[in-house]
Amino acid sequence: MNIYSIKISPNRPFNQSELTYLMERCGILSKKALALDYIKECTYDYDEKDESFTFDFLCVHNKNFSLKIVKDDRSDNFIFSMQKYEKWAVLRKDFIKALEVINTLHTQSHE
């Protein structure tokens, strides 16, 4: 597996090196989210059965929300599919953009 790639087969479980890589990337992504001035808390968890990573957030507006990174091809505004990205850096950028959009929506709801 190319260290910068996340092209992982959806038809088999993660192997140990893939899972280790993804856990490291999610740890870094969690720290990046916490560095944003509108995120108060960020935790993430790996669901072995679903083979997904769920990130739970508390924003400065005291609202809780979650974003999910999944191995299969499901996706929407809150779910990011590894199958739709060649590189982790692109997924990370879209993930951070989603946090910005959510922050904008939360800010507008308080105006």
**pLDDT at residue 77 greater than cutoff 90:** no
Sorted by sequence, the CB contacts under 8 Å of residue 91 that are 6+ apart come out as 6, 69, 80, 82, 85
**pLDDT at residue 14 greater than cutoff 50:** yes
Find the mean pLDDT for residues 39-49: 95
Q: How many CA atoms are closer than 13 Å to the CA of 107, on its beta-carbon side? A: 9
Comparing 49 with 5, which gets the higher pLDDT?
49
Distances in whole angstroms, Cα of residue 64 to Cα of each of 8, 34, 111: 30, 14, 19
Residue 72 near residue 78, CB atoms below 8 Å? no
Could you read off the pLDDT of 84-100 as tens digits, one per residue?
988 889 999 999 999 99
Sorted by sequence, the CB contacts under 8 Å of residue 49 that are 6+ apart come out as none
Percent of the chain with pLDDT over 90: 61
Predicted local confidence at residue 111, as pLDDT:
61
Assigned token pair, 26? 């999610």
Beta bridge partners of 52: 47, 70
